[in-house]
Amino acid sequence: MPAVDPRPERSVSARAPRAGLLLVGVLLLGANLRAGITAVGPVLPQIEHEVGLSASQASLLVSLPLVAFAVISPFAPRLAEAFRLERVLGLALVVLAAGIVVRSVPGPGLIWVGTGLLGAAIAVLNVLIPSLIKRDWPHRIGPMTGVYQAVTALTAALASGVVVPIADVAPSGWRFALGIWAAVAIIGVAVFLPWILGVASRVGSGTAAPRAAAPDATGPGSPTPGSGADDDAAPAVPPAVTASVARSRARLPLGSALAWQVTVYMGLQSTVYYTMVTWLPTIQISDGATPVQAGWYHFAFQACGLVGTLFAAFMIPRLREQSGLGAVFAASAVIGLLGLLFVPSLSLLWALFIGFCTGGAIVLAMALFGLRTTDYHRAAALSSMAQSVGYLFAALGPVMIGLLKDASGSWTAPLLVMVGVAVAQGVFIALAGRRRTLGA
């Protein structure tokens, strides 16, 4: 009997601990995506009073991370190609922790500097996490996206719920209540430290020796990312060729209709979420809720997002197309927004409908980056494009809705506009949810 080459088995066993560590890292990345942002809303009145912000300045402060998302997102894929994906993710966590701390330190302008750093770091994480999942879990995109987004929704809800009680008892008030979230980022840095220092190689085969054949070939017998295939099974492509291929894949797919459909969907669902994060408590207070009730309603809104997240994660791998699933989420938002408009006494119920939409829609949007591409380079490029333009929509949303409310004197016109946004969200997921890939 011919001897069996044991190298693939040794490769798999060697990579298993790193794969587990990377999975923990992905969950910690998810825990850092929203908590630093959603914790601000409930203590915004305290920030306005202590820092001396006007209402318009406070609105800009809330939108600043979204502006950073739009500005920084296009550069994330190039950073990953230049410095390795895991290293850039780990360094983004370092910047995030620094931003949270700087935002919480007294000093002229530091709240703006810290918020900007926080937004820039989360922008990089937002773009590159779907790329990481596409690379190392190519056949589990839906479940993996749902898992990390579930952690995101859970920590976002927790941050919204505990920030006011902590601020009430801490000597430094809101500064400590916001600053403690740097600890979550620091824990993430510890997990990614082997990659930051360059002592851990990437799990899987995507950045190991590239094949002489097409790098994204997935035919019978072709190794897939994260499969543990032997890195010595085929000769390496010359580095110059590899770099050229990587650069071409990192280009934003600006000429693709499918890419724009995904991008607009990303922007519309982000607009619904961030507008509600900013204004839902104010709307509910204007409808008769007390500030304490509005705070708990906001917690329920975030918590129901977790339900939507888990539902999306369960359904995505079971569907050939995602248009119908996206329509369910859009319909849930329409119901909730119309409910706030016509039956405001049930605002808690309507918050749950909207939360279900926002939790599920973000999972679907993030999953599309992998589902509509053939390899993790292209996933990063699509993610970068969609999030850059999409978060520009989201940054404008809360500001424009606030201006419309001031101009009209009520929440009727703003809520009707948001109903239109939710309907458009359903239209664009009907297009982006069809089973196609870029370039196919």
The pLDDT profile of the chain, 440 residues, written as one tens digit per residue, is 444 444 444 344 445 566 778 888 899 999 999 899 888 877 888 888 888 887 677 778 888 998 898 899 888 888 988 898 899 999 999 999 999 999 999 998 999 999 999 999 999 998 899 888 888 888 888 788 888 888 988 898 888 878 888 988 999 999 999 999 999 999 999 999 988 887 765 444 344 333 333 333 333 333 333 333 333 333 444 544 444 444 555 577 888 899 999 999 999 999 999 889 888 888 888 888 877 787 788 888 988 988 998 999 899 988 999 999 999 999 999 999 999 999 999 999 999 999 999 999 999 998 898 888 888 788 888 988 998 888 888 888 888 888 888 888 889 999 999 999 999 999 999 999 998 988 65
Question: What pLDDT score does 98 carry?
Answer: 97
- pTM here is 0.74
Q: What is the pLDDT of residues 225-256, one digit of tens each?
A: 333 333 333 344 454 444 444 455 557 788 88
3-state SS, the chain, equals CCCCCCHHHHHHHHHHHHHHHHHHHHHHHHHCCCHHHHCHHHHHHHHHHHHCCCHHHHHHHHHHHHHHHHHHHHHHHHHHHHHCHHHHHHHHHHHHHHHHHHHHCCCCCHHHHHHHHHHHHHHHHHHHHHHHHHHHCCCCHHHHHHHHHHHHHHHHHHHHHHHHHHHHHCCCCHHHHHHCCHHHHHHHHHHHHHHHCCCCCCCCCCCCCCCCCCCCCCCCCCCCCCCCCCCCCCCCCCHHHHHHHHHHHHCCCCCCHHHHHHHHHHHHHHHHHHHHHHHHHHHHHHCCCCHHHHHHHHHHHHHHHHHHHHHHHHHHHHCCCCHHHHHHHHHHHHHHHHHHHHCHHHHHHHHHHHHHHHHHHHHHHHHHHHHCCCCHHHHHHHHHHHHHHHHHHHHHHHHHHHHHHHHHCCCHHHHHHHHHHHHHHHHHHHHHCCCCCCCC
Q: What is the pLDDT of residues 378-421, one digit of tens each?
A: 888 898 899 888 888 888 888 888 888 888 888 999 999 999 99
